[in-house]
C-alpha cells in the first residue's frame, strides 16, 4: 500500500517517462492524479456503426487501418489512415479516412494493420467520409482476450491529454493508483454519502460499470467541490461579521431633506432596500451587502441614500464605477441632487480630479471614481461606506482588497444581475442580498425585434422617423475580436456612413480608443440632446443614462453575448417614450438566433442570465474577471440549483456545529487557506 499523498517521485511503481510527464503536467501526488476525472467516456462494449454520411455529433468507431500514407502539399504535410469497419477479423463495408495535418510524428503512432478506436465528427469531403484529427487509440492484441481489460469491452475513461503519455497509459496509471493507494489517504466522503467511501466514488468515476454510475459519481464530486466553495463563503462571511465596523446612520437629517427634494416617490423596492441597508449600517459589524437590480431599476438613488447616511454620521463615502464614463455620469448625477443639500462631492479618476466645492470648505464628503480609487490609500481620511457599482466588472479579489483600508468600512455592491441566481450563491455567497425587483413607474415599453438581413434603407428610414419625433438613437457596433484597433475602425467607418444617411442630423461617435475627455465631451453632447444619434461600440454598455434615447440599432447582434445585449438594451426605455431595440443579424448561425430570440421574448434580467448560463456555460458567462470560477472542475453542474443548495446547506450546518472548523479534515482546511491567499491579492500597481 502507498499513501495517496506520497510524492510521485518516491513511487517505485512509475517509470521515469511516466513520472516526468506527470510532473510536467503539474501533478505531484497520486491523489491529484485521481482527482482529475475523465473528460468523457467511451462505451467500448458497443461501438457506433460506420456512418455513411457526415455526422453532426462525434462517433466512436472500432476498425482496422487498411492503408496509410504521408502526403505533402503546398501548405505542409499531412498523414492519412484509412480505417475499415470490423475489428476482430469480421470486415464490414464501412470505411473512414482519418487525417492529421502538420504532425510529423503521427505515422509512428498509427500504421497499417493496426486495430484502432477513433473518435470524432465525420465530414463529407467530395464524397469521402473523413475525420480530421480524431482522438484515437491503438488496440493491442491482448486487449480483447484479457478478461477484465481496462481498455476494451467496458466503459473506458478518456482523459485530458498529457504530453508524453498515451490515453491507455493514463488509464493504467490511474487504475494502478486505485488498487495501490491506502483508501484512508484518499479522503473522506462527504457526510451525505457516508455509506460509500470516497475511494469507491473515485472507482466509479474512473472505471464505471454504467454511464449512470459515472454520472452519479461525477455529481458527487461536483457536490464536493461546491461544498468546498460554500464552506469558504460561509467561513468568510462569519469572519467578516467578527470584524469591527462602525455604527452609522443614527442621524437621518440629510436623508430626510434628500427625500423631500426628490420630484418623484421612490419605488417600494427602493424603499425596502434602503431600509435593509440602514439596518445593516446601524449594526457594529460591517455591512457586506449586494444590491441586485435590473438595468434601470434605480440603484443609484439607493446608493445615494446610503451615502448620505454615512455623511450625516460625519464620515466619507466612496462610489466606484467600472468605467470613466460611468464615474463622470455619477458625478454629474450626484452633484445635481446633492449640491443643493450642501454636500461636498469630488470626482477622482486617473485622468481627472474635480470637486464640486471650494477646497477651503473642507474635505469632500462623497468621492466618486473608478476602481483605481481602491489603491489610493491617501485618499480617504475617514471612510465609512464604499459603494461598488456594476460589480460584475470587478473581481472578487478587488472586492476583498477593500478590507485593507484600515477600519473595515461598510460595503455595498451593486450589480445589474447579468448573473444567474445559482452563480450569485457562489460568487456573492458571503453577501446579504437586497433585490430591486420593481422598475420606476412611467417607463415606456421596449419593443425588441430580431431582423434577419434587413435592408439598410428600411433601417435608416426607421431611425429618421424616430429622430424626427424628437428622440435620440444609439447605433451600436460589436467589438471585433482580432485586434483592438479594428474595434474602433468598424465603428468609425459606420460613423461616416451614418453621417451621410442622416445628413440633416448631428451624429456622434464614441469608442474605447478616444481619450477620456473626448469621451466625456461626446457623452455630454448626446446627453444634452445636441447629438441626435450616437454611433458606438460597447463602451456604453453599463450605466449610461439618457432618458430621451429611445432607439437602439444593434449591428451584427449575433456577435454580442446575451447578457451584454440585455445590458445594452437597458440604455433605452429609460424615459416615458416607447422604445425600440432592433437586433440586426445575418441569421446564419442557429445558436445565435436562439440567443436573440430570448431577448425578443424576455426583458427579465434574471431569466436572460439563466438562459445565458444554459446556452454558453459559466466560464463564458463570467469571463476571466471572476477568476476563481473558471477553474472549477465541474462548471457544467453550476446550472444545477439543487446541487448548489445542497452544498450550501451542508456547509452552513458544518459551520454551525463547528464554528472554528477544528473538526474538519485537513483537505478542507487547506482549501480555505488557499482562498485566504486569494483574498489578499490586490495585485495591481
Ligand atoms: P440602474 O439601476 O440601472 O443603475 P439608475 O439608478 O441609473 O438605474 O436609474 C435609472 C433612471 O431611473 C434614472 O434616470 C433615474 O433618475 C430614474 N429613477 C430612479 N428611481 C426612480 C423613481 N423612483 N422614480 C422615477 N424615476 C426614477
Ligand atoms: Mg447604475
- pLDDT tens sequence across 47-57: 999 998 999 88
pLDDT, mean of residues 105-133: 91
Residue to mutate, 298, 299, 544, 546, ligand 1, most ligand atoms under 8 Å from C-beta = 298
Bigger pLDDT: 478 vs 449:
449
Q: Please give the model's pTM, rounded to 2 decimal places.
A: 0.66
Residue to mutate, 266, 440, 446, ligand 1, most ligand atoms under 8 Å from C-beta = 440
566 alpha carbon to ligand 1 midpoint, in Å? 17
Ligand minimally distant from the alpha carbon of residue 299? 1
Ligand minimally distant from the alpha carbon of residue 566? 1
Give 322-367 pLDDT, tens digit per residue. 888 889 889 999 999 999 999 999 998 877 777 777 777 788 999 9
CA 626 from chain centre, in angstroms, equals: 6
171 alpha carbon to ligand 1 midpoint, in Å? 58
The closest-lying atom of ligand 1 relative to the alpha carbon of residue 295 is: 3
Q: What angle do CA 301, 315, 679 make, to 5 degrees?
A: 80
pLDDT at 123 over 90: yes
Question: Could you give all domains of the chain from N- to C-terminal order, each with its CATH number?
Answer: 61-139 (2.40.50.140), 253-436 (3.40.50.300), 454-585 (3.40.50.300)
**Ordered strands of the 123-125 beta sheet:** 123-125, 128-132, 95-101, 76-85, 59-73, 115-120, 135-138
Q: How far apart are CA 231 and CA 663, in angstroms?
A: 13
Q: How many CB atoms lie within 10 A of CB 466?
A: 21
356 alpha carbon to ligand 2 midpoint, in Å? 21
Bigger pLDDT: 542 vs 462:
462
Q: Are 638 and 664 in contact (CB under 8 A)?
A: no
Q: How far apart are CA 383 and CA 403, in angstroms?
A: 12
β partners of residue 533: 473, 507
The closest-lying atom of ligand 1 relative to the alpha carbon of residue 389 is: 4
pLDDT at 179 over 80: yes
Give 539-570 pLDDT, tens digit per residue. 876 667 899 999 999 999 998 888 889 889 98
The candidate with the shortest Cα–Cα distance to 447, out of 582, 302, 647, is 582
357 alpha carbon to ligand 1 midpoint, in Å? 25
Banded model confidence at residue 660, pLDDT cuts 50, 70, 90: confident
**What pLDDT shows up at residue 481?**
52
**What pLDDT shows up at residue 538?**
84
591 alpha carbon to ligand 2 midpoint, in Å? 30
CA dihedral sign of residues 245, 392, 396, 426: positive
**What pLDDT shows up at residue 224?**
87
Ligand minimally distant from the alpha carbon of residue 388? 2
Q: What is the maximum span of the chain, computed from C-alpha positions, in angstroms?
A: 95
β partners of residue 81: 68, 98
Give 78-112 pLDDT, tens digit per residue. 899 999 987 444 445 689 999 998 877 888 888 89
The three three-digit cell numbers of residue 195, written as one number: 455509506
pLDDT, mean of residues 124-145: 88
User: In whole numbers, what is the pLDDT of the chain averaged over residues?
Assistant: 84
How much helix, strand and coil, in percent to the nearest 5, is found in the chain?
45, 20, 35
Residue to mutate, 261, 300, 390, ligand 1, most ligand atoms under 8 Å from C-beta = 300
* 382 half-sphere exposure, CB direction, 13 A CA radius: 12
Q: Are 219 and 199 in contact (CB under 8 A)?
A: no
pLDDT, mean of residues 17-25: 95
270 alpha carbon to ligand 1 midpoint, in Å? 10
CA distances from 202 to 218, 220, 224, 613, 643 (A): 9, 10, 12, 28, 19
pLDDT at 195 over 70: no
Ligand minimally distant from the alpha carbon of residue 293? 1
**What pLDDT shows up at residue 646?**
87
Q: Are 40 and 120 in contact (CB under 8 A)?
A: no
Ligand minimally distant from the alpha carbon of residue 417? 1
331 alpha carbon to ligand 1 midpoint, in Å? 15
Bigger pLDDT: 401 vs 238:
238
**What pLDDT shows up at residue 92?**
54
Residue identified by cell 470560477 is: 629
pLDDT at 445 over 70: yes
Q: Is 461 left (phi over 0), alpha (psi -120 to 50) or beta?
A: alpha
Least confident of 244-258, 383-397, 591-605: 383-397
Which CB contacts under 8 angstroms, 24+ apart, belong to 327-330? 327/368, 327/369, 327/370, 328/352, 328/520, 328/523, 329/523, 329/543, 329/544, 329/545, 330/300, 330/368, 330/389, 330/543
DSSP 171-220: HHHHHHHHHHB-GGGG-PPPGGGTTS-HHHHHHHHHS-SSHHHHHHHHHH
Protein residue with its CA nearest to atom 5 in ligand 1: 298
In degrees and rounded to multiples of 5, residue 682 shows phi and psi of -75, -45
311 alpha carbon to ligand 2 midpoint, in Å? 21
Bigger pLDDT: 75 vs 410:
410
The C-alpha R_g of the chain, in whole angstroms, comes to 30
The candidate with the shortest Cα–Cα distance to 550, out of 476, 490, 466, is 466
The candidate with the shortest Cα–Cα distance to 63, out of 113, 105, 123, is 113
Q: Provide, rounded to the nearest whole percent, the portion of the chain with pLDDT above 70.
A: 84
Quick check: helix, strand or coil at residue 272? helix
DSSP 393-438: GS-HHHHHHGGGSSSPPEEEEEE---S-HHHHHHHSTTSEEEEE--
The candidate with the shortest Cα–Cα distance to 83, out of 109, 61, 55, is 61
pLDDT, mean of residues 438-449: 86
Residue identified by cell 484518499 is: 186
**What pLDDT shows up at residue 618?**
65
**What pLDDT shows up at residue 449?**
96
Residue to mutate, 296, 305, 571, ligand 1, most ligand atoms under 8 Å from C-beta = 296
Q: Are 44 and 154 in contact (CB under 8 A)?
A: yes
- Which residues have C-beta atoms less than 6 Å from ligand 1? 264, 266-267, 270, 293, 295-301, 416, 440, 543, 545, 547, 574
Protein residue with its CA nearest to atom 4 in ligand 1: 299
Residue-wise burial string across 202-212, b where 16 or more C-beta atoms lie within 10 A, e elsewhere:
bbbbbbbeeee
The three three-digit cell numbers of residue 302, written as one number: 439607493
645 alpha carbon to ligand 2 midpoint, in Å? 29
133 alpha carbon to ligand 2 midpoint, in Å? 48
The closest-lying atom of ligand 1 relative to the alpha carbon of residue 299 is: 2
Q: Are 307 and 337 in contact (CB under 8 A)?
A: no
Least confident of 122-131, 254-263, 432-441: 432-441
Q: Are 671 and 228 in contact (CB under 8 A)?
A: yes
Ligand minimally distant from the alpha carbon of residue 303? 1
The candidate with the shortest Cα–Cα distance to 409, out of 371, 435, 374, is 374
β partners of residue 70: 79
The closest-lying atom of ligand 1 relative to the alpha carbon of residue 570 is: 3
Banded model confidence at residue 206, pLDDT cuts 50, 70, 90: very high
Give 321-331 pLDDT, tens digit per residue. 888 888 988 99
Bigger pLDDT: 663 vs 1:
1
Q: Are 409 and 402 in contact (CB under 8 A)?
A: yes
Banded model confidence at residue 528, pLDDT cuts 50, 70, 90: very high
**What pLDDT shows up at residue 237?**
76
**What pLDDT shows up at residue 285?**
86
Amino acid at each position: 500500500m502507498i499513501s495517496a499523498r506520497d510524492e510521485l517521485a518516491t513511487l517505485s511503481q512509475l517509470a521515469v517517462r511516466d513520472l516526468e510527464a506527470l510532473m510536467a503536467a503539474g501533478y505531484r501526488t497520486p491523489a491529484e492524479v485521481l482527482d482529475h476525472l475523465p473528460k468523457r467516456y467511451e462505451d467500448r462494449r458497443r461501438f457506433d456503426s460506420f456512418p455513411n454520411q457526415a455526422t453532426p455529433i462525434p462517433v466512436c468507431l472500432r476498425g482496422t487501418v487498411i492503408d496509410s500514407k504521408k502526403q505533402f502539399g503546398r501548405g505542409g504535410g499531412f498523414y492519412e489512415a484509412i480505417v475499415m469497419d470490423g475489428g476482430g477479423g469480421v470486415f464490414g463495408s464501412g470505411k473512414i479516412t482519418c487525417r492529421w495535418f502538420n504532425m510529423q510524428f503521427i505515422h509512428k503512432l498509427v500504421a497499417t494493420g493496426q486495430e484502432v478506436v477513433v473518435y470524432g465528427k465525420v465530414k463529407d469531403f467530395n464524397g469521402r467520409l473523413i475525420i480530421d484529427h480524431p482522438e484515437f487509440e491503438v488496440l493491442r492484441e491482448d486487449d480483447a482476450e484479457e478478461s477484465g481489460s481496462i481498455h476494451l469491452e467496458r466503459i473506458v475513461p478518456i482523459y485530458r491529454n498529457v504530453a508524453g503519455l498515451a490515453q491507455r497509459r493514463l488509464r493504467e496509471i490511474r487504475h494502478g493508483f486505485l488498487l495501490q493507494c491506502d483508501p484512508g489517504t484518499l479522503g473522506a466522503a462527504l457526510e451525505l454519502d457516508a455509506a460509500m467511501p470516497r475511494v469507491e466514488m473515485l472507482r466509479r468515476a474512473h472505471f464505471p460499470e454504467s454511464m449512470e454510475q459515472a454520472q452519479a459519481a461525477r455529481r458527487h464530486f461536483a457536490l464536493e467541490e461546491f461544498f468546498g466553495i460554500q464552506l469558504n463563503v460561509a467561513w468568510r462571511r462569519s469572519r467578516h461579521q467578527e470584524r469591527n465596523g462602525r455604527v452609522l446612520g443614527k442621524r437621518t437629517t440629510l436623508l430626510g431633506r434628500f427625500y423631500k427634494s426628490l420630484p418623484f416617490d421612490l419605488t417600494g423596492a427602493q424603499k425596502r432596500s434602503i431600509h435593509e441597508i440602514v439596518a445593516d449600517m446601524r449594526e457594529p459589524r460591517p455591512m457586506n451587502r449586494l444590491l441586485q437590480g435590473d438595468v434601470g431599476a434605480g440603484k443609484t438613488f439607493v446608493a445615494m441614500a446610503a451615502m448620505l447616511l454615512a455623511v450625516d454620521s460625519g464620515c466619507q463615502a466612496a462610489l466606484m464605477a467600472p468605467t470613466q464614463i460611468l464615474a463622470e455620469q455619477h458625478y454629474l448625477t450626484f452633484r445635481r441632487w446633492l449640491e443643493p443639500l450642501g454636500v461636498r462631492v469630488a470626482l477622482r479618476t486617473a485622468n481627472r480630479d474635480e470637486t464640486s466645492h471650494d477646497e477651503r470648505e473642507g474635505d469632500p464628503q462623497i468621492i466618486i471614481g473608478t476602481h483605481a480609487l481602491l489603491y489610493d490609500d491617501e485618499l480617504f481620511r475617514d471612510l465609512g461606506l464604499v459603494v461598488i457599482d456594476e460589480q460584475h466588472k470587478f473581481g472578487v479579489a478587488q472586492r476583498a482588497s477593500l478590507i485593507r483600508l484600515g477600519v473595515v468600512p461598510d460595503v455595498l455592491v451593486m450589480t445589474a444581475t447579468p448573473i444567474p441566481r445559482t452563480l450569485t450563491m457562489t460568487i456573492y455567497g458571503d453577501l446579504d442580498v437586497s433585490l430591486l425587483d420593481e422598475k420606476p413607474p412611467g417607463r415606456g415599453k421596449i419593443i425588441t425585434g430580431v431582423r434577419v438581413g434587413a435592408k439598410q434603407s428600411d433601417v435608416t428610414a426607421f431611425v429618421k422617423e424616430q429622430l424626427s419625433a424628437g428622440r435620440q438613437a444609439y447605433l451600436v457596433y460589436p467589438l471585433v475580436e482580432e485586434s483592438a484597433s479594428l474595434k474602433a475602425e468598424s465603428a468609425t467607418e459606420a460613423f461616416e456612413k451614418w453621417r451621410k444617411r442622416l445628413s440633416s442630423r448631428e451624429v456622434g461617435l464614441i469608442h474605447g480608443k478616444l481619450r477620456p475627455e473626448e469621451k466625456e465631451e461626446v457623452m455630454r453632447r448626446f446627453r444634452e440632446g445636441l447629438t441626435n444619434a450616437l454611433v458606438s461600440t460597447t463602451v456604453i454598455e453599463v450605466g449610461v443614462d439618457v432618458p430621451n434615447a429611445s432607439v437602439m440599432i444593434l449591428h451584427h447582434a449575433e456577435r454580442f453575448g446575451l447578457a451584454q445585449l440585455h445590458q445594452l438594451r437597458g440604455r433605452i426605455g429609460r424615459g416615458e417614450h416607447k422604445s425600440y431595440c432592433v437586433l440586426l443579424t445575418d441569421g446564419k448561425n442557429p445558436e445565435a438566433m436562439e440567443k436573440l430570440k430570448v431577448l425578443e421574448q424576455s426583458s427579465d434580467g434574471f431569466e436572460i442570465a439563466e438562459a445565458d448560463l444554459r446556452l454558453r456555460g459559466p466560464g463564458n458567462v463570467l469571463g476571466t474577471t471572476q477568476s476563481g470560477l473558471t477553474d472549477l472542475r465541474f462548471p457544467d453542474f453550476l446550472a444545477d440549483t439543487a446541487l448548489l443548495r445542497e452544498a450550501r446547506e451542508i456547509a452552513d450546518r458544518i459551520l454551525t456545529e463547528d464554528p472554528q472548523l477544528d473538526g474538519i479534515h485537513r483537505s478542507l482546511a487547506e482549501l480555505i487557506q488557499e482562498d485566504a491567499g486569494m483574498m489578499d491579492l490586490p495585485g495591481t500597481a
